[in-house]
């Protein structure tokens, strides 16, 4: 669940509202006509390390009105959430579920009535299990048509109140977690690349196929919106990518080149086709025939199919060059580098999440890089935050947010085209990596209580004051720091 600030240059950090994703927030997985999603199947099979599920999650399906009241109390001015494809269109295609439609209309209306700007994510690492059963989900080009039809329903039913649409969350991470290392649903991988013993999948090719179809689905939905809805609704369509900055471990030419290669694999994999119509050259070289290619007509549809870029950012990486393995490779091996979360942590060839040191400068670097590399497309920081222990006195979160907001403001002052900032997360939710035990929220949720009561943390009170004062805390601290540096 993330919080967004749709800020101007002068008041960049004036409003930083929240976001959620359907599976992590809603719960009610078997209510009112919702069909199982791939995450239901994954977690109910005991695939999470703590055996938790999102069956109830934060119970947002029943508590959304209470949460909107908390948003108002916290001075939030916008909210980003995702729509459960399984709840809205239970069969993956065809008939719309009236109860699902009613829920999202009620949620949107509640937000609008309280003056809260609505941002919608269409797919947040989740899709109907029926489509995985029928044609293996994102591994089939058939999903492009079904996703576009799903997007069409959302644009038609909600577009009169929604102007900000993000199609797919973190395709660069989703493709890996779902089809390379099996961290995410549907949990496909091949040995030796999975985190557990792999029984189905092919880690050497499936991540690239899945991401390719995600790019095509995004482009198709974007074209539909532009042709059918944009003139009347005046909105825009973007895509989200997971981001981390890369520092060369040494100043050697090969490590500097490795850091550049990291950016091409992390950002360029998804964004380069949307700007140029094709994948980065280094990916085509290292991946070879395992990387799908765009037809001429596909390239024409994909190129330019983005109104804004959303990024999720938490940490930076240090990288060393690594000779390209001549044997069987997955995505991480194709990157041809070692990566670590700090200079003191041993390097790894695996592209998996790790705890890392705070590095606000890395976010500034990402924002400036994206602005320069991808044609000055508007950027939204759609997730940024830090997990903490189960405490209400989360002072470390306050300091983290101050520093990262400051780095965002620095990037804007240096020309980065940033239009919004979201904090992850408004309240504690079911986290895909660690279930309910990983707490990113400004509000605590008691997952041991069936009623899922909310309780403000210290960071929520700080954040409310921060927004009430138009972000002046961070701006004043940044101005003071820059002034001292000039003395």
- End-to-end CA gap in the chain: 41
**Active-site residue, from 77, 206, 272, 383:** 383
- Integer Cα distance of 404 and 183 in angstroms: 27
* Residue 481 structure tokens: 């720091």
Question: Under a CB-based contact definition with an 8 Å cutoff, are residues 222 and 237 in contact?
Answer: yes
All residues at 6 or more sequence positions from 226 whose CB lies less than 8 Å from its CB, including other chains = 237
Alpha helices in 288-389 (DSSP H): 296-302, 331-334, 360-373
Residue bearing tokens 């140029």: 276
* Residue 370 structure tokens: 């994206």
Number of Cβ within a 10 Å radius of residue 91: 14
Query: Among 359, 355, 317, 310, which residue's Cα sits nearest to residue 337?
Result: 317
Strands (E), 322-475: 337-340, 379-383, 418-424, 443-445, 454-456
Query: Among 56, 154, 172, 64, which residue's Cα sits nearest to residue 109?
Result: 64
**Active-site residue, from 26, 170, 206, 431:** 170
Residue bearing tokens 């040995």: 191
Question: Under a CB-based contact definition with an 8 Å cutoff, are residues 424 and 312 in contact?
Answer: yes
Crossing angle for the helix pair 98-113 and 142-158, to the nearest 10 degrees: 50
Active site residue 227: no
- Apex 119 CA angle, 117 and 125, nearest 5: 155
Strands (E), 216-273: 236-248
All residues at 6 or more sequence positions from 364 whose CB lies less than 8 Å from its CB, including other chains = 407, 408, 410, 411, 414, 416
Question: How many residues comprise the chain?
Answer: 487
Q: Give kind and range of the element (H or E) at residue 4.
A: strand 2-5
- Integer Cα distance of 338 and 282 in angstroms: 17
Number of Cβ within a 10 Å radius of residue 316: 22
* Residue 248 structure tokens: 């060369």
Active site residue 477: no
Question: Under a CB-based contact definition with an 8 Å cutoff, are residues 35 and 131 in contact?
Answer: no
- Apex 110 CA angle, 459 and 95, nearest 5: 120
Q: Tell me which residues are annotated as active site.
A: 170, 383
């Amino acid at each position: 669940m993330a919080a967004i600030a749709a800020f101007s240059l002068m008041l960049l950090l004036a409003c930083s509202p929240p976001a959620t994703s359907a599976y992590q927030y809603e719960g009610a997985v078997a209510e009112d006509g919702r069909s199982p999603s791939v995450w239901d199947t994954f977690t109910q099979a005991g695939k999470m390390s703590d055996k938790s599920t999102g069956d109830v999650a934060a119970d947002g399906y029943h508590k959304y009105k209470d949460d909107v009241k908390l948003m108002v109390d916290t001075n939030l001015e916008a909210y980003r959430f995702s729509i459960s494809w399984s709840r809205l269109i239970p069969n993956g295609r065809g008939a719309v579920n009236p109860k699902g439609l009613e829920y999202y209309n009620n949620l949107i209306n509640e937000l609008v009535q309280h003056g809260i700007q609505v941002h919608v994510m269409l797919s947040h690492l989740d899709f109907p299990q029926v489509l995985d059963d029928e044609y293996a989900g994102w591994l089939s080009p058939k999903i492009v048509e079904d996703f576009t039809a799903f997007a069409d329903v959302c644009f038609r039913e909600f577009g009169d109140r929604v102007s900000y649409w993000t199609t797919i969350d973190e395709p660069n991470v989703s493709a890996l977690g779902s089809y390379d290392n099996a961290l995410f649903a549907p949990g496909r991988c091949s040995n030796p690349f999975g985190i557990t013993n792999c029984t189905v999948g092919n880690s050497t090719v499936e991540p690239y196929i899945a991401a390719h179809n995600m790019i095509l689905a995004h482009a198709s939905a974007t074209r539909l919106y532009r042709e059918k809805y944009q003139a009347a609704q005046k909105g825009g369509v973007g895509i989200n990518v997971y981001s981390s900055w890369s520092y060369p471990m040494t100043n050697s030419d090969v490590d500097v080149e490795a850091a550049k290669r990291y950016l091409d694999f992390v950002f360029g994999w998804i964004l380069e086709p949307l700007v140029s119509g094709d994948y980065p050259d280094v990916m085509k070289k290292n991946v070879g025939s395992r990387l799908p290619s765009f037809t001429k007509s596909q390239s024409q549809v994909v190129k330019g199919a983005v109104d804004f870029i959303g990024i999720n950012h938490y940490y930076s990486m240090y990288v060393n060059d690594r000779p390209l393995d001549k044997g069987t490779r997955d995505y991480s091996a194709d990157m041809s580098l070692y990566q670590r979360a700090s200079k003191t942590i041993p390097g790894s060839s695996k592209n998996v999440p790790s705890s890392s040191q705070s590095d606000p400068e890395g976010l500034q670097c990402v924002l400036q890089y994206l602005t320069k590399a991808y044609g000055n497309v508007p950027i939204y920081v759609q997730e940024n935050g830090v997990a903490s222990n189960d405490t209400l006195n989360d002072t470390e979160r306050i300091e983290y947010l101050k520093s990262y907001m400051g780095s965002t403001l620095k990037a804007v002052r240096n020309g980065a085209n940033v239009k919004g900032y979201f904090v992850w997360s408004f309240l504690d939710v079911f986290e895909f990596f660690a279930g309910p035990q990983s707490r990113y929220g400004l509000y605590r949720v008691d997952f041991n209580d069936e009623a899922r009561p909310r309780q403000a943390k210290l960071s929520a009170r700080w954040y409310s004051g921060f927004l009430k004062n138009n972000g002046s805390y961070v701006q004043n601290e940044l101005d003071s720091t820059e002034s001292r540096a000039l003395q």
